[in-house]
Structure 1
Amino acid sequence: MDPEIAEWLQHVLQTIGYQHKERMYADVEAVLRRFQNFLVPHADTYTHDNGRSQLLLSLVGTIPIVYQSATYNIPVAFWLPTSYPSVAPIVFVTPTALMLVRAGKHVDISGRCYHPYLAYWSNKSDSNLVELIGIMQKVFSLDPPVYSKSNVSTQQQPQSSPTLGAYPSPTSLKPAPPILSYSPRANSSITTSPSAQNNRYSGSSSFGSSQQLTPQQAQLYTKLQAALMEFHSTSSREMQNIVTVNKQLNDAETRTKTELQSLRDLNNKIQYNISTLTRSIEQLDTKIEQIRTWPEEPVDEIICGSSVVHNQLFELVAEEIAIEDTIYYLSKALSQDKVDLKAYMKHLRNLSREQFMKKALIKKVKAQLGQV
């Protein structure tokens, strides 16, 4: 892209206040590189359907189409909202003084263009200006949106008005593509061309004014235009509702798939834990059956000392510990008033005397073992 145009474009994006300048610049640059001899950027005032005016950047010029094996140039204007790419561009067919708009499936009588690609516009990289222009080329190649005024005048009969079937095909459009030049001013202000001043759109159209039509045709044109605007408003609301419901359904589907995957993972973990627990239970049952087949061992014979003296020491220590526990529980019974003081003192003296004898004997046995 030409450095002057690039500098002018950066200045316009900054001055108007576009929210996504980098994405905006990249998309416009791609369009100018692809259609450098057909589209040029302009900064001009755009009037919305509610009457609000706003300074916007637009791509004005023509796009080539192929109709009946011949190449024609369709005049168009792509208006880019300040929130682009979150909001889809606004596309108009801009007929010259020798053309009229042919209303159809994708173009209304004012030249406003409609397409599912615009209705389901995404702010991600999968929706961009280059693809939009390519789609408009395909649509216009199947159903050209403009026709020549001269064809209408030659085919119109004095007694009857032209019908849709009498509209000529756009064979009168010159096939040669126009070369659109661009030269920004030396200063840094936003520049516009006279042709851009004529591309201001509002809710009504200036094409096919009452000066060119009979009073009956003008009245019919006004009613048709009002019906089309009402249909467009209703369709836009319904389309917005459909898009909202579709988004909600997509979000619900995503959440459902996520929850389903979580439940599947949890089920896999539970099944694994059940399998592991079953194997462990089987191993424990096997061990228990093996232990039950073992012969019973005499505990008193297994736990014993290596000599008679060691066995005596083992028994003395066990008895001394038992006396200590008895004294403890006897004191606890006294504190809970389960035994009177007289009985407590009697038993305590007997137990203390016996404990003393056990400890003395333990000391004597240990001394004897130490000499051996």
Structure 2
Amino acid sequence: MTTTTTSTQKWLRENSAKYEQRDNVYHQVDQALATFGLYGGSNGWLKVKSDVYTYDDGRTHLLLCLHGLLPINFRNSTYHIPIDIWIPFNYPRSSPIVYVVPAQGMLIKNSRYVELSGKCDVSNYEGTKGSWLDRGEKTTTARTGLLGLIDALMNWFSRDPPVYSKAAQLSASSSPARSPLPTSIPHQVAQPPPPTYSPSPSRPSPIPPAAWTPQPPPIPQVPSASPAQQPVPPPPPMSWTPGPPPPLRIQSAPPPPPPLPPIPAQNLLDSDEPASSSQIAPAPPRPPNPVLLSLHSSVHAKLTAALQSLQSSLHHSSEHFRKMQQDLLRGEPAIHDEMSRLEAVKAVSLNVGNRLRQSVDAAERNIQLLRDKGDVSVDELICGPTIVHNQLINLVAEDNAIEDTIYHLHRALNSGSIDLDRFLKGRVSLKPEPLISSCRQPKPVYSSDYFFGNHSLTCLVIDNSRFG
């Protein structure tokens, strides 16, 4: 093992320590470098670096990246496809991120496995389980992990190359010439392809295909995060083996008639789909931002939940209002019936009120009449039906008054409040004799009606018994 290999493995061990399965990542990257990489012999086209990878949502991670040229065999010719294989932190739970990086003069061809942005679809490739699938068909390789992924990429790209060269733009005055192959795919087999046209001997021959030597591929530079070492250059590209091309000589003779346009040499990368080489595919649309999509989904979920809640509340409210409407519709006849009954009660109440008002008015008039007459004396309140009865009432009242006076005089005499002389004077001043004599006269008594006479006689009997 060389010093370069040892330093690379040491650097790889340090940079794979941040991965979840660092040992697995280290061994797989080391195997890939041993097979296709720095210390892989004649196939040393891949290198490893540590660089910043930016995800679609804006996140940036410092990841390991296998970058370089991937050899493929397309129609018995060997080409090299520039690729970048980024290894995420949670590898092998997440698949590697593979991009085709076209060089100058190359374009990405949208295919079954490659998008227009250059990203390769490796979702159907389960390398961590050892059962690598290719659209439902097992691959012929027994490798797993990164080696199996690289084998699968070589298999895919050999069947459908992911890049093609730009069509050369020639001016109208220049004669058509053969379009050169892209500089990023320089390596070809030793034998040239058979010529597709034979120029006329009377005209100057164009440059033969054997005279064209492709440029060597650029040496991928190891980034600053790579171990400090001398970069090992890839093996020199093979060129056409026939002899050196004959030098072009400018003839000073008059120009011959314009030659027939030669048939351009077939480009193996472009001959698969002629329509795709003549028309440049439109630029791929910008991929949507995952953060924005996540925000959209969360907002959509919240709006959906709020809408469902609002619909539920509106449904309950509508049911409540519908029941209220039914109750109101059922209560309308009852309201009309009650209104009719109340109208009848109102009419009766107005009639009773009118009669009561008339009675109150009559009572107020009588009260006013009594107030106008003034207070009535007691003598006017107690009276007999005739004059004789009034005389009898007055006589009985005077007799009772004299009796009460005599009674109180006796009590005053007994208590010593008055003396005997004063008692006698008061007693004599009462003069009961005319009263007794008047009571004993029957003429006024029997001159009246029998009823009144009987009543008066009864009173006289009481008086005679009292004085007897």
Question: TM-score by structure 2 length?
Answer: 0.35
Higher relative contact order (CA 8 A, sep 6+): 1
Question: TM-score by structure 1 length?
Answer: 0.44
Structure showing the higher helix proportion among its residues:
1
